[in-house]
Amino acid sequence: MKSIKTLFMVLALSLTVFSCTEGSNSSEGSKKATTLKINFAMGNNARTMTYQQAMPLTLPDGTVITQGDLKPTWQFISNALNLNIIDTAVQNQKASEMIDIASATGFKDSVIYGGNSVAERLMNYGVQGMFINLKDYLDEMPDLKAYLEANPNVAKAITAYDGGIYHVPYVAEINNYARIYCGREDWVVALLDGDDQIEAETHTLNVAYSGYWDRYDANVVDLQNAAASQGVLDAATARTTLIKYIEDTYNFDKPSDLYLGDTAVYDIDELIALWRVIELSPNTLSKVSTGQVVADAEISPYFTRKSKNREEVYRLLTYFGGQRVHGSDTYSNRFILDEEGNLAFSYAQESFLEKANYLQQIYSEGLIHSEFYDLSVKDDFRKSMYFSDDIDGQRQFGFMTFDWIASTTNNNDNVAGMLPPVTTIPQAGINNFVHYVENSRAIKPDGWAISSASSEKELQAAFKVFNYMFSEQGTIIQNYSIPDVLVEGETFTGPDGTDYPKFNNWVFDAAKEYKNGDISGFLRDFMGSHLPVGYQKQIGFELQYTSPNGFKAWDLYFKNGVIISTYEQDDDYLRLMPPIISLSEQNIAKLGTISVGETQTDELFMYITGFNSPIEDATDLLESYKSSGIDTFLEVYQSAYDKMMGK
């Protein structure tokens, strides 16, 4: 980061002002400051700009923050910009509810409105004239203007159908890996690299999956199926067949090299062959994880973090020939660009549904956690399957998931990043086998907008705040909080080669005391940083609470050039989509007669899991999509998307 020491000196001087005023409402200077009312709702009173914790927070300089004060970050911003910021949010009100109430009075009670998952509403009310078109005022926000000019695809993604920009979004750490594949390395080593840890096993499974790839003379799934006795596979047969296949096909030092570390080149068939061995080895693997065989241990070769993350399982379809699944880092974004650059609804693609049949086969073999799809189950499967090995009576153990690097690799030394299965992506002209994950950091449907009912003085105050979040100082404040939280002038180099500000021990100690070590939660709930206002988040924050295993995962993905979908991809098929496609009233009226939505999604999960399924094949849903108006649905969104992109 350029001029980091000079910048910290400037911040330190600003901090002196913060320390003396003890808040934006307590000094003579603040009385002369412009009042700026902000209604930023999160549906969680711990996540607003106002400090709502029962216990006071004492900052390193002795300043005490108590309930009802602005959080330290916002006190600092108030003083840095000479503003009297007033948090007008009903502290536990959902953003959508707040927008509905505020719209009834023309957004006249505050200057800035925002919250989580409100981008579409802000766009819609903006084109109706209730929020200002920020494009008309960018010269008064030079840092924001420079950011949008440097990131034209971000600008396009937040452009409404009339060509205006009415809100500034929370932009996550774009062009960085988001969720990745993680697994228990010690399980792979124990099962494949020798017999010393192998216990007697009695479990069997009925083979249903028949394999996809034809990379080599033999397919490992075909070999396991042929070795099964009347369609029933046991642990010893599955394991010995897999090991022999690896020895015959590859020239590794040890069989686990197919799956672990830099040498990993496994495809989805080879992964499923391993999953079968894992599913059939509960005695061996429970002993590896706990030191003794656990009676009636339940092994899940693949699991999602929670049932609300159930769409995560669809990402496995990518490894059956490059199928795209989600257009952005949200399950509701199911629009992608096909190989011709036209808008497609992934869940309604014949190629998607054909490959979903493989998930049904895999699930029937017990290779996917049995409760992953049940929305009535609120359990944190990652906690029970990865982080509970030492708990007495623990019976659930999981092997592999797709989740965030830092948090997933932080509480079990044997859970590490794994390269994704290799696949071709012919839709993007990639016919050789590559490592690819379509998931990456994205523009979020969160952020804030400025009311058109604001006075000129209020507009100028709002412009200060909007611009500040994209200035060098504001970026540090929003990402890392007030400078006293940092080791002033000290930086560290991330795996991407960038230098980032470094936290001091006070941050870690305070996060441990107040938030059980959750630094992100501490900064949001106690300090006031990381709220999803309009700003660009930096990966440097996350890297500071990443475990050694987590850094190995980052290095693994960077070193091996794992392809990700981004807004900057040259090929349409690999490109991320906007978080929201802006719709006109006419568009919305056309969609009012269409029923494309969660009905088909629920039916697909019912089919995959065999729970009262109304269909016999996933492609049967094509007729449901057609009768629900998928053609009109796509026409409407294609037209709206083209307008956003300036076509």
Same domain, residue pair 464 and 326 = no
Residue 495 pLDDT: 80
Residue 344, strand partner residues: 336
Residue 11 pLDDT: 52
**Domain assignment of residue 429, yes or no:** yes
474, with CB counted inside 10 A (0-12, 13-18, 19+), is buried
Same domain, residue pair 125 and 243 = no
Structural domain for 629, as ranges: 586-644
561, with CB counted inside 10 A (0-12, 13-18, 19+), is exposed
Residue 497 pLDDT: 85
Give how many domains the chain has, as a whole number: 3
Same domain, residue pair 167 and 222 = no
394, with CB counted inside 10 A (0-12, 13-18, 19+), is middle
Same domain, residue pair 240 and 287 = yes
**Domain assignment of residue 575, yes or no:** no
Same domain, residue pair 328 and 404 = yes
**Domain assignment of residue 395, yes or no:** yes
**Domain assignment of residue 9, yes or no:** yes
Please tell me the pTM assigned to this model. 0.90
Same domain, residue pair 160 and 261 = no
**Domain assignment of residue 455, yes or no:** yes
Are the CB atoms for 606 and 614 separated by under 8 Å? Answer: yes
CATH classification at residue 94:
3.40.190.10
At 402, which helix (H) or strand (E)? strand 396-404
| Domain edge (last residue) among 496, 511, 536 | 536
Same domain, residue pair 260 and 365 = yes
| Domain edge (last residue) among 374, 408, 437 | 437
Same domain, residue pair 414 and 462 = no
Same domain, residue pair 243 and 185 = yes
**Domain assignment of residue 304, yes or no:** yes
Same domain, residue pair 142 and 194 = no
Residue type, 165: I
Hey, what are 181's tokens? 């594949």
Average pLDDT per consecutive 10 residues, the chain (647 residues; last block may be shorter): 42 45 41 91 95 95 95 96 97 96 97 96 96 98 97 94 96 92 98 97 97 96 98 98 98 98 98 98 98 96 94 96 93 92 96 97 97 90 95 95 92 95 97 96 96 98 98 94 79 86 91 89 95 95 89 94 94 94 92 87 94 90 95 95 89
Same domain, residue pair 191 and 280 = yes
**Domain assignment of residue 354, yes or no:** yes
Label each residue of 276-294 as H, E or C.
HHHHCCHHHHHHHHHCCCC
CATH classification at residue 201:
3.40.190
Same domain, residue pair 211 and 125 = no
Q: Three-state SS for 154?
A: helix
- Region of 107 (left: φ > 0; alpha: ψ -120 to 50; beta: rest) is left
| Domain edge (last residue) among 413, 437, 461 | 437
**Domain assignment of residue 358, yes or no:** yes
Q: Which alpha helices (H) appear in 22-128, and where do they start and end?
A: 28-32, 72-80, 95-104, 119-127
Residue 8 pLDDT: 45
Are the CB atoms for 546 and 408 separated by under 8 Å? Answer: no
Are the CB atoms for 159 and 165 separated by under 8 Å? Answer: yes
